[in-house]
Amino acid sequence: MGKVKNHVIALLLLVILFIIGGCGKGKSTKGPLIESDAPNKVYVEPGKYDEFYGFVSGGFSGQLAVYGLPSGRLLRVIPVYSQNAENGWGYTEETKPMLNTSYGFIPWDDSHHSELSMKDGVPDGKWIFINGNNTPRVARISLGTFRTEEIIEIPNSAGNHSSPFTTPNSDYVVAGTRFSIPVENRDVPISSYKENFKGALTFIKVAPDNGKMSIGFQLITPGFDYDLSHAGKGPSDGWFFFSCYNSEQAHTLLEVNASQKDKDFIMAVNWKKIEELVASGKGTDMTANYAHNVYDDKKHSATSEMIKKVRVLKPADVQGALYYIPCPKSPHGADVDPTGEYIVGGGKLATVIPVFAFKKMVSAIGNKEFDGDIDGIPILKYETVLAGEVKDPGLGPLHTEFDDKGFAYTSAFVSSEIVKWKVETREVVDRLPVYYSVGHLMIPGGDSKKPWGKYLLSMNKITKDRFLPTGPELNQSAQLIDISGEKMKLLLDFPTVGEPHYAQGIPADLVAKNSVKIFKIEENQHPYATKSEKDARVVREGNIVHVYMTAIRSHLSPDNIEGVKASDEVYFHVTNLEQDWDIPHGFTIMGNDNSELLIMPGETCTIKWTPKSPGIYPFYCTDFCSALHQEMQGYMRVSDKNSNVPITFSSNYKKEDTK
Amino acid sequence: MVAVYFVPVWEITLEAPQYPEGLGFEIWINKMTGDLNTVNGLNHYIGMKKIEPDSIKELTYMPYFLGFLLITLLFTAWKNKKSLLMVWVAVFIVFGIAGGIDFYVWEYDYGHNLDTTAAIRVPGMTYQPPLIGDKQLLNFVAHSYPSYGGFILIISGILSVLLLFYELKFNKYEK
């Protein structure tokens, strides 16, 4: 009977989905008129700065977009997992190792969630982490250089979705697998899912001084789909909460087969206890193979190292540290309020939002009020742990963020709205439609101990008629909402890069003051750096030719090169000698089948080029650097591979320049 | 006056739309600091010689000249003689004027002695910064003013002249 009822509800939801899906086709639903003071709230005068940085994940673009808030101005797209021909990321010899994995060189990924590093549970503006979902990885980006400094691959994982959320002092960044797979991965029948497939939850240790990541330990848990997570804080510090769906352990048509049970779970992990167990020698070192890639700011180069083992723990190794909290209907978000007292689940198909009380969880564990176990992991009772439910929260509640006044804001995907409710009483106090189908939402500091509750960013999957049409392929969008008052007010729509999943926001002054302007040329330790024009040269080593080139307004040196032969491997190592802020130089050569270079002041970048046939090949600076930028050009002569033209080169270097 | 060893004497600043944060350099008694590399980089377009502190001999002599002045000043104070003070003030003023002339000649040389193959050659245009004051040089406005050390020296000069005047006029009974 219960099953039939569930089917009826599911059918109803589907019908509603279709109705909502059809809305855009009819009369335009442009939404409510905005408040008359909205333009003033988002208008940032030319030359003035935004109040917040917004770091919005690029989703299938694999990158991280940086916006100014409240203006919605795109400040930068930081290349992370995807090659970026615009500045050579992933194409240059220096950055290629960053995209190395155990699967070889992977030129893209699907980057879902960004998370700022924290101190005492508050974003500190040092680094931002972002996950690679498809080829499981976690990246760390410096907020000094706004560059990806480190990428670590996650072994035994497949679909790194519940990541990269961090503990209140960023001791650990987590990586929970969205797909369970055999651990270690091997050739088994898919139908042996229940027997062979496991879900790995990985805790990556972060060095407090330089942020260097290493895998601390990995929990090998039952084969569910681990979806999202957040760390406990305050009273719940020491715990981590992972939502999971597919406790049915289906392996086909999950849409139906993983939606059968009334409740799935949020897994509570006592990571402090496990850390102690690991320190005392619990668990086993399993053979593994995963890449750890680090970019060095002084060498302007990355290295990739394959790590060969990982510490794994089974539920039996960590008894008393893992518990399952039942959570209605395929939970998605697992969010912890600023006080650390409440854990909010978001059930994709649920009709309520369950709010769990940490205090109740602790006493239930103390009283051993369990409802059986799965693989030795005790299951707590829903009612015992529940603080209360938010009734009528909108359809398809997904994610919850918090302000600094005791309110929670939940995104409802199906009913396309933001629902505001009071954490203590669980009563809905306001709701605002968004256009259309919101996924994640973000309040600066809204998942930390200290939300700056002025703005909310709603990240929407569907834009349809919101902007001028651009053919079938449309940008997704973000909507900025004023949450400073009692009622939410829509302020601004702006298109986003890729698919904005999660985002982070932080007051601008915590980050801007540390932003690097140039790389000091005297600190450049690149092995092929050319720090002075007089050292510019061309060196042949067998069929490899190294061009030590310098770039300074408005010439490249050397600028006439002869003696290169077809099928030589030519490496252009270009050093930008400028020490002036915002004077990059570019470099490329005709027929370059790689990418261009974009070299920051004081930096050295290398592009490899293999000329295929004899001829004259012009090269030039690709960044309009100065009034005589068009003159910043040169020629390379490529001769037949059997010719005996010697290496010669000219340069702009004049003896009298150095007295 | 001892403080002159620890603060810049003169500063030349440049203003242009691309440099809202300012651009310039300071001349100390024995060195130059600031955005010299940037200024040199920009100056190559007009064929100006590179400003290289190591090749400017004044920066080597100046600390000794100033030291000489300080020691003779102490000697004058110790001897407490008007005639010595008169000589000292005269030397100091000559030093000041010579310094000014030297600075002007240096600026003239940099501003006029340009590479004839430079990218930007404006007939009749020279790029000598003002000795003191402001001047438009192509897209830059150049400002040349004394810095802390310069003010100390100027005030010291004025004070020493006033002192001499006072000694001569009101203190006639002492030798």
| Residue in the block written with tokens 């593994």 | A288
**Contact in structure between A42 and A72 (CB atoms under 8 Å):** yes
What distance separates the 2 farthest-apart alpha carbons in chain A? 95
Tokens of A399: 């994610």
User: Which residues of B are less than 8 Å from A657 in CB distance?
Assistant: 50
Cβ contact A657–B50 (<8 Å) = yes
Q: How many angstroms separate the CA of residue B14 from the nearest CA in chain A?
A: 14
Q: How many angstroms separate the CA of residue A626 from the nearest CA in chain B?
A: 10
Tell me whether B37 touches chain A (CB under 8 Å). yes
DSSP 3-state of B48: coil
Q: Which domains does chain A show, CATH number per domain? A: 49-512 (2.130.10.10), 521-658 (2.60.40.420)
Q: Is residue B100 part of a domain?
A: yes
Q: Is the pLDDT of residue A19 over 50?
A: no
Query: Which residues lie across from A599 on neighbouring strands?
Result: A585
DSSP state of A89: B
Q: What is the CA radius of gyration of chain A?
A: 27
For A254, counting Cβ atoms within 10 Å of its Cβ (0-12 exposed, 13-18 middle, 19+ buried), the class is middle
> CA torsion angle for A443, A132, A284, A278 (degrees, to 10)?
-20
* Identity of the residue in B35, B41, B52 whose CB atom sits nearest the CB atom of A552: B41
From CA A229, how far away is CA A244, in angstroms rounded? 9
What distance separates the 2 farthest-apart alpha carbons in chain B? 68
Q: pLDDT digit string (tens) for A90-103? A: 999 999 999 999 99
Which residues of A make CB contacts under 8 Å with B? 552-554, 578-581, 627-628, 631, 657, 659
User: Which residues of B are less than 8 Å from A551 in CB distance?
Assistant: none
Supply angle C-alpha A525, A527, A530, rounded to 5.
80
Q: pLDDT digit string (tens) for A402-415? A: 999 999 999 999 99
Q: Is residue B26 part of a domain?
A: yes
Tokens of A74: 């795109």
Q: pLDDT digit string (tens) for A145-173? A: 999 999 999 999 999 999 999 999 999 99
Q: Is residue B175 part of a domain?
A: no
Q: Is the pLDDT of residue A6 over 70?
A: no
Tokens of B104: 């002007």
Extract the runs of DSSP E, i.e. beta strands, from A250-283. 263-270
Q: How much is the pLDDT for A585?
A: 98
**Contact in structure between A353 and A344 (CB atoms under 8 Å):** yes
Q: Please name the residues between 55 and 74 in chain B that touch chain A, using a CB distance below 8 Å.
A: 55
User: Which residues of A are less than 8 Å from B119 in CB distance?
Assistant: 554, 628, 631
Complex-level ipTM? 0.76
User: Which residues of B are less than 8 Å from A581 in CB distance?
Assistant: 21
**Contact in structure between A227 and A213 (CB atoms under 8 Å):** no
Q: Name the residue of chain A whose CA is nearest to B41's CA.
A: A553
Q: Is residue B129 part of a domain?
A: yes
User: Which residues of B are less than 8 Å from A534 in CB distance?
Assistant: none
User: Which residues of B are less than 8 Å from A580 in CB distance?
Assistant: 35, 37-38, 41
The candidate with the shortest Cα–Cα distance to A38, out of A480, A560, A513, A453, is: A480
Q: What percent of chain A has pLDDT over 70?
A: 94
Task: Name the amino acid, one letter, at A240.
Answer: F
N- to C-terminal Cα separation, chain B = 26
Q: pLDDT digit string (tens) for A417-437? A: 999 999 999 999 999 999 999
Q: pLDDT digit string (tens) for A464-492? A: 999 999 999 999 999 999 999 999 999 99
Cβ contact B41–A553 (<8 Å) = yes
From CA A346, how far away is CA A503, in angstroms rounded? 18
The candidate with the shortest Cα–Cα distance to A454, out of A493, A401, A413, is: A401
Domains held by chain B: number: 1
DSSP 3-state of B7: coil
Cβ contact B55–A659 (<8 Å) = yes
Chain A, chain B: beta-carbon pairs less than 8 Å apart: 20
Torsions phi, psi for B103 (to 5 deg): -65, -40
From CA A344, how far away is CA A338, in angstroms rounded? 12
Q: What is the pTM of this model?
A: 0.89
User: Which residues of B are less than 8 Å from A659 in CB distance?
Assistant: 52, 55
DSSP 3-state of B143: strand
Mean pLDDT of A126-135: 98
Mean pLDDT of A162-185: 97
Give residue B16's domain range: 2-170
The candidate with the shortest Cα–Cα distance to A441, out of A484, A404, A397, is: A397
H or E stretch covering A326:
strand A322-328
